[in-house]
Amino acid sequence: MDAVMFEMVQAFGSGFLLIFDPTTFSLMLLGIGIGFAVGILPGLGGPAALALMLPFIVKMKAVEAFAFLLGMASVTNTTGDITSILFGVPGESSSAATIVDGHPMAKKGEAGRALGAALMSSLVGAIFGAFALALAIPIVRPLVLILGSPEFFMLAILGVTFVASLSGGSLLKGLIGGGVGLFLATIGLDPISGVPRFTFGQLFLWDGIGLVPITIGFFALPEVIDLAVQGSSIARGEVGKLGGVKEGIQDTFRHWWMVIRCSAIGTLTGIIPGMGPATTQWLAYAHAVQSSADKGRFGKGAVEGVLGPGAANNSSLGGLLVTTIAFGVPTSVMMAILLGAFLIHGLIPGADMLIPELKGGHLALTFSFVWTIVFSNIITVAVCFIFLKQLVKVTRIRGSLLIPLILLLIYLGAFTEKNAIEDLLLVFLFGILGWIMQWLRWPRPPLILGLVLGPLAENRLFLSTDNYGLAWLGRPGVLVLIALALGGVFYSVLRTKRSRAARRDEPVPAPETAVAGGFPKMTRSTLFSLFITAGLALALWQSRRFNFRSGLFPWTICGSVFILSIFQFGRDLMGKKEKGGMESQAEAGQEILPHLVRSRTMGTFGWFGGFLATVWLLGFSAAGPLSVFLYLKITSREKWPLTLILTLGTWVFLYGIFDLALHVPFPAGKLYAWLSF
Amino acid sequence: MHKKLTLLFALSIGIALIPGTTPAASFFQGKTVRIIVGTTAGGGFDAYSRVIARHMGKHIPGNPTVIVENMPGAGGLIAGKYLYSIAAPDGLAIGNFNSAQIMAQIFGREGVEFDARKFEWIGVPVKSNVVCALVKKKGVTSADQWMDSKTPVKIGGMFAGNTTSDVPRILHEALGLPIQLVEGYKGSAEIRLAAESGEIAGGCWQWESIQTTWGKAVQSGDVAIVLQATDKPLPELPKVPLAGHLAKTQEAKDLIKAGITDPATITRLYSLPPGTPKERVRILRKAFQETLKDPEFLAEVKKSKLAVDPLTGEDVERIIKGLFGLKSSTVAKLKEILYPK
């Protein structure tokens, strides 16, 4: 035993030394630099960037290649949080949860504090995840092997119960949102019999709708519109002194145990194949809400709402690597690409990675991953703190300059995930949906959670039943998870009741859709509930010919959500009011005239659609600069020099980097195809 | 001096007139050839294509740049459709997708928006060979034991139309092997994990993949290769019985060949759009084969532990012709087995 321990410690040390080789370290720095930029740029995501970098690692040694790739992967979530906080646009699809409270903080002028909290919790999370990986290495195989399909299924269900905490004031809307997410997850080929479900003859829909385009559109567009409506910079109020940063760092330590618990949530969900950082951020956010005494603060700039996801999306990397390294089972898109890197270097994930080099394994290499994560995050966070002042200044740039660039990056990011032009349409549609939901005070996170957990739940339910009959319900792991799920729900209900009782005396703020009297009335809320109800009815009709296997999940979900949505429709029809969802924000800044709000909103929708149309007609390289130019000249009325500089910059960025250097297969514009005939 | 120049000029015209050499060279010169891979970056298809892309350029006259583009979706059908109806048939777009798409056309499945008979085939870098691997702890370590098993052996699969599901279904029908197919796993890695955790006994998929990802366990005996669905025994598995030999009837043998062996052989297809000029097809076929013999290429695949066992474009054409010429009764039977109502 001692000998084994000694080998472990020795490998841990060698792993440390490995990354301090000059070449390796420089490549790690390069990776960090790229990851930094990719994280900051909204839309562009870590997985896509990792895939684009794969060709460059062929000439590197294995240690160098992983230092490079992991350096990049480690920091995208950290810097992604920065964008989420400052712009309200997810820097990564895995840092969307940071928006919910981080962005309201930035609007209130507390950007410094939010960033301080996000960076510090990211660092804590990353280090937690890295050391969890190191500690898990000796015991990971038996640990993961006790988990079977039934446990995976129950974990997905446990995740779904978190919807309750993500619903803010309106549980019914949250449940409907979560259900709609679960339903949307059934779009595509049924995972078992391969029958297309809700694909309308579109091959593109066979693999389901991608999480990246949906998350980006869903959260980014409402903020872009808000920015346009305000017609100002992101920070409405006075940007406070940067002293807030220190406050944010201290917040991390004030809520130390919550940060640690969220880090643990991140690492553990990372281990489960099919969950990944996109899920983890919401679970952590829900946990932050749940463990707070005053839930009313959430969505309006509660620092815990930044700390939780900030820690979890970083700590998940360690967990993701556990399963990937020990079993060669990729737990996320990013890990699948990393497995490709293993392949290129002839490394076989599995037991070998956990055996010391002297015995023919790669243990020191594995430990070098741990150190890469740790140092990449320390370096990144340090750099961020140094330049924080400059970063925060971004919130004071006028929105009219930022909007066209953000719109373009949203589309670019959605495209690079699968190189599919159809994804741009998804961004557009979900952008509109996200905006409507925010406008009508529907909580958005449950929908995303349902969408991520849907496939895992469906697959594993059938696998459990096929493998064990109904006996799986009696497995100890399953029982524990059922107890946890029930406990969580009861706890949440109890707390909500208690806090509601405490708040009963407070006056309820009138929502914008207030309706006089109890007369049935068609308001926009009613219309939206009707729209959802009709959509679900249509889906049920569409699914009538599915066989039992393909149908069971969609029927169950659509059926129950259909009933819930009828209730909601009834409530809206009767003009029943409720507190706004957790995302309803107290807007700072001056009042804007209603007709201006309307024209600016419609204008931004127009540009959003226009960008899509130009990309489709002219291709990215031409459409990008053109759209930016037109927006700056027509809507923003910028001066010529600035307009030209930004237009040129866009062109260099799109054509030079993406087209020429990285060979991103931008489709040629439709217009060229028409003209050549 | 002047004469010499004239001679050189005439000579170059002469060379230019020899069909196929200079025009093609001048065609590919300075151009970019794209290999369109029907999967995401990071997988096996992508890995082969990227190595090939790195070395193929020097074997094509005019030394074009060769790059890889990923066009994932619908199991390769999107890439297939792109190659069939959108990519220009000029030799600058090479498709790389799974032979399962060809079977999908033969079985008249939904979503196949091309006619596979019209593609030009370049070749296959490695003949895939399907074997069945079972974990020792579940008790079955040989084909005989399997055949005699009183309870159905649980085999993990992904979905109908995928090797992991189709092979057990055909073996069950053709050999009468007791099998309970459990479908819904996302990839062979998850099947492997489920077998290691004891949820299922194992699965059937490509040997070259099992060899790399599960090789240690096979060596140690924790995992047994009990059956190979190949024409002849693989060099590494001389003693493992062939599925075809266990088949009692000609019909069973036909099902195994048409449903498993032939499609597996051409799994990793490389193709050109219909109507690509014959001359360029010839050049690319030749370049493809030369690439697969290139020592630098071989050194690189060795490092990545990728197997190489090529088929020429002509071979592929012949096999595909055979598959399209299958007796309608065989096709109907296979359809019934693979896609049970």
What is the 3-class SS of B168-189, one letter each residue? Answer: HHHHHHHHCCCEEEEECCCCHH
H/E segment holding residue B324 = helix B313-324
Interface of B with A in 31-50 (CB under 8 A): 34, 40-44, 46-47, 50
Interface of B with A in 72-111 (CB under 8 A): 72-75, 77-78, 81, 110-111
Give pLDDT, residue A171.
Answer: 86
- Alpha carbon distance A196, A237 (integer Å): 50
Query: Are the Cβ atoms of B71 and A419 closer than 8 angstroms?
Result: yes
Query: Are the Cβ atoms of A203 and B47 closer than 8 angstroms?
Result: no
Query: Are the Cβ atoms of B47 and A343 closer than 8 angstroms?
Result: yes
Residue from A342, A467, A475, A545 to probe the interface with B (highest B Cβ count within 10 Å) = A467
Q: Which residue of A has its CA nearest to B50?
A: A55
Give pLDDT, residue A549.
Answer: 86
Query: Are the Cβ atoms of A329 and B189 closer than 8 angstroms?
Result: yes
- Alpha carbon distance A433, A186 (integer Å): 18
Give pLDDT, residue A515.
Answer: 44
Query: Are the Cβ atoms of B41 and A203 closer than 8 angstroms?
Result: no
Q: Are A589 and A232 in contact (CB under 8 A)?
A: yes
Give pLDDT, residue B23.
Answer: 61
Q: Which residue of A has its CA nearest to B210?
A: A348
A273 Cα to chain B: minimum distance (Å): 9
Q: What is the pTM of this model?
A: 0.88
- Alpha carbon distance A49, A57 (integer Å): 13
pLDDT in tens, B132-169: 999 999 999 999 999 999 999 999 999 988 999 999 99
- Alpha carbon distance A100, A81 (integer Å): 11
Q: Are A424 and A415 in contact (CB under 8 A)?
A: yes
List the single residue in B40, B212, B341 with the smallest CB-CB distance to A348.
Answer: B212
Q: Are B247 and B174 in contact (CB under 8 A)?
A: yes
Give pLDDT, residue B56.
Answer: 96
Give pLDDT, residue A590.
Answer: 55
Query: Are the Cβ atoms of B194 and A663 closer than 8 angstroms?
Result: no
Rounded alpha-carbon distances, angstroms, from residue B168 to A225, A664, B164, B205: 54, 39, 7, 10
pLDDT profile of chain A (677 residues), mean per 10: 80 91 96 93 87 89 94 93 90 91 88 93 96 85 84 91 83 93 92 85 88 89 89 65 79 95 94 85 92 84 94 94 88 88 87 84 92 95 89 80 91 89 94 94 92 90 91 92 86 72 56 50 86 94 88 92 93 72 46 85 93 93 93 90 94 90 87 80
- Which domains does chain B possess? 2-127+266-327 (3.40.190.150), 130-263 (3.40.190.10)
Give pLDDT, residue A237.
Answer: 59
A265 Cα to chain B: minimum distance (Å): 22
Q: Are A561 and A163 in contact (CB under 8 A)?
A: no
Residue B274 has pLDDT above 50, yes or no: yes
Strands B120-124 and B311-312: antiparallel
ipTM score of the complex?
Answer: 0.87
